[in-house]
Amino acid sequence: MTWIFENLGRVFLAFVATTGRLFLFLLQALNQGLRPPYYGRQILRQIWEIGYLSLPVVGLTALFTGMVLALQSYTGFSRFNAENAIANVVVLSMTRELGPVLAGLMVAGRIGAAMAAEIGTMRVTEQIDALTTLSTNPQKYLIMPRLFAGITMLPFLVVVADIIGIFGGYCVSVYRLGFNASLYLEQTLNFVEIQDVTSGLIKAAVFGFIISLMGCYHGFTSKGGAQGVGKATTHAVVSASILILVANYILTSLLFEQGVS
Protein backbone atom coordinates (compact mmCIF):
# COMPACT_ATOMS: atom_id res chain seq x y z
CA MET A 1 0.00 0.00 0.00
CA THR A 2 2.81 2.39 0.87
CA TRP A 3 4.22 2.12 -2.67
CA ILE A 4 1.23 4.11 -3.93
CA PHE A 5 2.11 7.03 -1.64
CA GLU A 6 5.80 6.65 -2.45
CA ASN A 7 5.11 6.91 -6.15
CA LEU A 8 2.65 9.77 -5.70
CA GLY A 9 5.23 11.61 -3.58
CA ARG A 10 7.92 10.99 -6.15
CA VAL A 11 5.74 12.33 -8.95
CA PHE A 12 4.76 15.37 -6.88
CA LEU A 13 8.38 16.15 -5.96
CA ALA A 14 9.44 15.78 -9.60
CA PHE A 15 6.64 18.15 -10.61
CA VAL A 16 7.68 20.75 -8.02
CA ALA A 17 11.36 20.44 -9.02
CA THR A 18 10.56 20.85 -12.73
CA THR A 19 8.32 23.84 -12.03
CA GLY A 20 11.08 25.44 -9.99
CA ARG A 21 13.66 24.83 -12.71
CA LEU A 22 11.28 26.25 -15.31
CA PHE A 23 10.78 29.47 -13.30
CA LEU A 24 14.52 29.81 -12.76
CA PHE A 25 15.08 29.33 -16.48
CA LEU A 26 12.49 32.00 -17.27
CA LEU A 27 13.96 34.43 -14.74
CA GLN A 28 17.45 33.94 -16.15
CA ALA A 29 16.16 34.37 -19.70
CA LEU A 30 14.36 37.61 -18.79
CA ASN A 31 17.25 38.88 -16.68
CA GLN A 32 19.73 38.35 -19.51
CA GLY A 33 17.50 38.82 -22.50
CA LEU A 34 15.92 42.15 -21.62
CA ARG A 35 19.35 43.79 -21.49
CA PRO A 36 21.23 44.73 -24.65
CA PRO A 37 22.73 43.60 -26.96
CA TYR A 38 19.69 42.48 -28.94
CA TYR A 39 20.06 40.16 -31.91
CA GLY A 40 17.88 41.65 -34.65
CA ARG A 41 18.64 38.97 -37.23
CA GLN A 42 17.67 36.23 -34.82
CA ILE A 43 14.43 38.03 -33.93
CA LEU A 44 13.55 38.48 -37.62
CA ARG A 45 14.38 34.83 -38.32
CA GLN A 46 12.04 33.69 -35.57
CA ILE A 47 9.30 36.07 -36.70
CA TRP A 48 9.62 34.54 -40.16
CA GLU A 49 9.62 30.96 -38.79
CA ILE A 50 6.72 31.40 -36.40
CA GLY A 51 4.66 34.07 -38.13
CA TYR A 52 5.04 33.48 -41.84
CA LEU A 53 5.83 29.78 -42.12
CA SER A 54 2.96 28.82 -39.79
CA LEU A 55 0.40 30.60 -41.98
CA PRO A 56 -0.48 27.60 -44.19
CA VAL A 57 -1.12 25.17 -41.33
CA VAL A 58 -3.04 27.72 -39.25
CA GLY A 59 -4.99 28.94 -42.29
CA LEU A 60 -6.04 25.45 -43.37
CA THR A 61 -7.05 24.49 -39.83
CA ALA A 62 -9.14 27.64 -39.47
CA LEU A 63 -10.74 27.26 -42.90
CA PHE A 64 -11.99 23.73 -42.30
CA THR A 65 -12.96 24.46 -38.70
CA GLY A 66 -15.11 27.40 -39.86
CA MET A 67 -16.69 25.23 -42.56
CA VAL A 68 -17.46 22.36 -40.16
CA LEU A 69 -18.76 24.78 -37.57
CA ALA A 70 -21.27 26.19 -40.05
CA LEU A 71 -22.44 22.72 -41.08
CA GLN A 72 -22.75 21.45 -37.51
CA SER A 73 -24.53 24.58 -36.35
CA TYR A 74 -27.00 24.27 -39.19
CA THR A 75 -27.71 20.65 -38.28
CA GLY A 76 -28.41 21.57 -34.68
CA PHE A 77 -30.10 24.93 -35.12
CA SER A 78 -32.44 23.79 -37.88
CA ARG A 79 -34.17 21.57 -35.30
CA PHE A 80 -35.65 24.65 -33.67
CA ASN A 81 -35.67 27.02 -36.66
CA ALA A 82 -32.67 29.03 -35.51
CA GLU A 83 -30.59 28.75 -38.70
CA ASN A 84 -30.15 32.51 -38.78
CA ALA A 85 -27.86 32.28 -35.76
CA ILE A 86 -25.18 30.40 -37.72
CA ALA A 87 -23.27 33.58 -38.61
CA ASN A 88 -23.27 34.60 -34.95
CA VAL A 89 -22.06 31.21 -33.75
CA VAL A 90 -19.28 31.05 -36.33
CA VAL A 91 -17.93 34.53 -35.65
CA LEU A 92 -18.17 34.20 -31.87
CA SER A 93 -16.63 30.73 -31.73
CA MET A 94 -13.81 31.60 -34.06
CA THR A 95 -12.78 34.88 -32.45
CA ARG A 96 -13.17 33.87 -28.80
CA GLU A 97 -12.20 30.22 -28.71
CA LEU A 98 -11.43 28.24 -31.81
CA GLY A 99 -9.13 30.78 -33.48
CA PRO A 100 -6.71 31.17 -30.56
CA VAL A 101 -6.91 27.60 -29.25
CA LEU A 102 -6.57 25.82 -32.59
CA ALA A 103 -3.86 28.20 -33.79
CA GLY A 104 -2.08 27.68 -30.45
CA LEU A 105 -2.27 23.90 -30.67
CA MET A 106 -1.17 23.80 -34.31
CA VAL A 107 1.74 26.15 -33.65
CA ALA A 108 2.65 24.14 -30.53
CA GLY A 109 2.97 21.07 -32.76
CA ARG A 110 4.92 22.85 -35.47
CA ILE A 111 7.01 25.46 -33.69
CA GLY A 112 7.28 24.02 -30.17
CA ALA A 113 8.69 20.80 -31.61
CA ALA A 114 11.04 22.65 -33.96
CA MET A 115 12.36 24.88 -31.17
CA ALA A 116 12.98 21.98 -28.81
CA ALA A 117 14.65 19.92 -31.54
CA GLU A 118 16.87 22.78 -32.74
CA ILE A 119 17.97 23.96 -29.30
CA GLY A 120 18.24 20.38 -28.02
CA THR A 121 20.51 19.44 -30.91
CA MET A 122 22.59 22.54 -30.22
CA ARG A 123 22.87 21.43 -26.59
CA VAL A 124 23.98 17.86 -27.29
CA THR A 125 26.42 18.90 -30.03
CA GLU A 126 28.03 21.51 -27.75
CA GLN A 127 26.86 24.43 -29.90
CA ILE A 128 25.42 26.14 -26.81
CA ASP A 129 28.77 25.77 -25.04
CA ALA A 130 30.39 27.16 -28.18
CA LEU A 131 28.08 30.20 -28.01
CA THR A 132 29.22 30.86 -24.44
CA THR A 133 32.88 30.56 -25.37
CA LEU A 134 32.28 33.01 -28.23
CA SER A 135 31.20 35.62 -25.65
CA THR A 136 27.56 35.35 -26.65
CA ASN A 137 24.98 34.70 -23.98
CA PRO A 138 22.78 31.77 -25.12
CA GLN A 139 19.77 33.19 -23.26
CA LYS A 140 20.02 36.41 -25.24
CA TYR A 141 20.87 34.79 -28.56
CA LEU A 142 18.55 31.77 -28.49
CA ILE A 143 15.79 32.24 -25.95
CA MET A 144 14.71 35.89 -26.06
CA PRO A 145 14.21 36.10 -29.85
CA ARG A 146 11.97 33.02 -29.66
CA LEU A 147 9.97 34.32 -26.70
CA PHE A 148 9.53 37.70 -28.39
CA ALA A 149 8.50 36.18 -31.72
CA GLY A 150 6.10 33.73 -30.01
CA ILE A 151 4.34 36.46 -28.03
CA THR A 152 4.01 38.83 -31.00
CA MET A 153 3.31 36.39 -33.84
CA LEU A 154 0.58 34.27 -32.27
CA PRO A 155 -1.88 37.23 -32.15
CA PHE A 156 -1.09 37.92 -35.81
CA LEU A 157 -1.76 34.28 -36.68
CA VAL A 158 -4.99 34.34 -34.71
CA VAL A 159 -6.24 37.41 -36.61
CA VAL A 160 -5.57 35.50 -39.84
CA ALA A 161 -7.22 32.36 -38.42
CA ASP A 162 -10.29 34.37 -37.37
CA ILE A 163 -10.70 35.87 -40.83
CA ILE A 164 -10.16 32.58 -42.68
CA GLY A 165 -12.40 30.65 -40.26
CA ILE A 166 -15.22 33.15 -40.69
CA PHE A 167 -14.68 32.99 -44.45
CA GLY A 168 -14.96 29.18 -44.27
CA GLY A 169 -18.27 29.47 -42.44
CA TYR A 170 -19.44 32.04 -45.00
CA CYS A 171 -18.58 29.77 -47.94
CA VAL A 172 -20.49 26.81 -46.54
CA SER A 173 -23.46 28.93 -45.45
CA VAL A 174 -23.76 30.79 -48.75
CA TYR A 175 -22.69 28.22 -51.35
CA ARG A 176 -23.86 25.00 -49.69
CA LEU A 177 -26.72 25.98 -47.41
CA GLY A 178 -28.09 28.75 -49.60
CA PHE A 179 -27.87 31.71 -47.21
CA ASN A 180 -28.01 35.24 -48.56
CA ALA A 181 -24.40 36.47 -48.83
CA SER A 182 -24.96 40.11 -47.89
CA LEU A 183 -27.27 39.21 -45.01
CA TYR A 184 -24.72 36.71 -43.69
CA LEU A 185 -21.94 39.28 -43.80
CA GLU A 186 -24.11 41.99 -42.27
CA GLN A 187 -25.12 39.68 -39.44
CA THR A 188 -21.48 38.72 -38.83
CA LEU A 189 -20.29 42.33 -38.71
CA ASN A 190 -23.18 43.51 -36.57
CA PHE A 191 -22.82 40.74 -34.05
CA VAL A 192 -19.07 40.70 -33.45
CA GLU A 193 -17.73 43.12 -30.83
CA ILE A 194 -14.24 44.40 -30.35
CA GLN A 195 -13.98 42.55 -27.01
CA ASP A 196 -14.56 39.24 -28.78
CA VAL A 197 -11.49 39.84 -30.88
CA THR A 198 -9.29 41.35 -28.14
CA SER A 199 -9.98 38.51 -25.71
CA GLY A 200 -8.82 36.08 -28.42
CA LEU A 201 -5.69 38.15 -29.01
CA ILE A 202 -4.84 38.24 -25.30
CA LYS A 203 -5.14 34.46 -25.24
CA ALA A 204 -3.00 34.19 -28.34
CA ALA A 205 -0.17 36.22 -26.80
CA VAL A 206 -0.22 34.01 -23.69
CA PHE A 207 -0.29 30.84 -25.82
CA GLY A 208 2.65 32.15 -27.87
CA PHE A 209 4.59 32.70 -24.68
CA ILE A 210 3.76 29.18 -23.44
CA ILE A 211 4.77 27.53 -26.73
CA SER A 212 8.10 29.38 -26.94
CA LEU A 213 8.91 28.86 -23.28
CA MET A 214 8.21 25.12 -23.40
CA GLY A 215 10.12 24.64 -26.65
CA CYS A 216 13.13 26.59 -25.37
CA TYR A 217 13.14 25.09 -21.88
CA HIS A 218 12.91 21.46 -22.96
CA GLY A 219 15.47 21.99 -25.73
CA PHE A 220 17.88 23.89 -23.51
CA THR A 221 17.79 21.28 -20.76
CA SER A 222 17.90 18.23 -23.01
CA LYS A 223 20.70 15.72 -22.63
CA GLY A 224 21.67 12.25 -23.76
CA GLY A 225 22.09 12.53 -27.52
CA ALA A 226 19.41 11.84 -30.12
CA GLN A 227 17.14 10.09 -27.64
CA GLY A 228 17.31 13.09 -25.31
CA VAL A 229 16.41 15.46 -28.14
CA GLY A 230 13.47 13.23 -29.07
CA LYS A 231 12.20 13.27 -25.50
CA ALA A 232 12.65 17.04 -25.29
CA THR A 233 10.60 17.48 -28.46
CA THR A 234 7.79 15.28 -27.16
CA HIS A 235 7.77 17.01 -23.77
CA ALA A 236 7.74 20.45 -25.41
CA VAL A 237 4.68 19.68 -27.53
CA VAL A 238 2.75 17.79 -24.84
CA SER A 239 3.41 20.31 -22.07
CA ALA A 240 2.68 23.30 -24.34
CA SER A 241 -0.60 21.72 -25.53
CA ILE A 242 -1.78 20.92 -22.00
CA LEU A 243 -0.77 24.33 -20.68
CA ILE A 244 -2.60 26.03 -23.55
CA LEU A 245 -5.82 24.25 -22.60
CA VAL A 246 -5.34 25.04 -18.90
CA ALA A 247 -4.45 28.67 -19.63
CA ASN A 248 -7.43 28.93 -21.95
CA TYR A 249 -9.80 28.06 -19.11
CA ILE A 250 -8.07 30.40 -16.65
CA LEU A 251 -8.02 33.30 -19.13
CA THR A 252 -11.63 32.74 -20.15
CA SER A 253 -12.62 32.80 -16.47
CA LEU A 254 -10.64 35.97 -15.81
CA LEU A 255 -11.91 37.76 -18.88
CA PHE A 256 -15.45 36.62 -18.11
CA GLU A 257 -15.22 37.97 -14.55
CA GLN A 258 -13.97 41.30 -15.85
CA GLY A 259 -16.87 41.45 -18.24
CA VAL A 260 -14.67 41.38 -21.29
CA SER A 261 -15.92 38.02 -22.45
Residues 116-145 close enough to bind other proteins by CB under 8 A: 121-122, 125-127, 129-130, 132-137, 141
The answer to whether the Cα torsion of 48, 50, 56, 58 is positive or negative is: negative
- The residue among 123 and 203 lying less far from other proteins, judged by its C-beta, is 123
Indicate the residue among 37 and 259 with the shorter CB distance to other proteins: 37
183-189 long-range contacts, CB within 8 A, separation 24+: 184/87, 187/84, 187/87, 187/88, 188/87, 188/88, 188/90, 188/91
Report 158-197 residues binding other proteins (CB under 8 A). none
Binding mask 231-260 for other proteins (x = CB under 8 A): ------------------------------
Q: Give me the least distance between CB of 47 and other proteins, in Å please.
A: 15
| Residue whose CB is less far from other proteins, 129 or 193 | 129
Nearer to other proteins, 125 or 190 (CB): 125
- In whole angstroms, what is the distance from residue 201 CA to residue 158 CA? 7
Residue number, 38 or 64, with CB nearest to other proteins: 38
Least distance between other proteins and beta carbon 124 (Å):
9
Per-residue binder mask for other proteins (CB under 8 A), 19-48, x = binder:
-------------x----x-x-----x---
Shortest Å, Cβ 160 to other proteins: 26
Residues near other proteins (CB under 8 A): 32, 37, 39, 45, 121-122, 125-127, 129-130, 132-137, 141
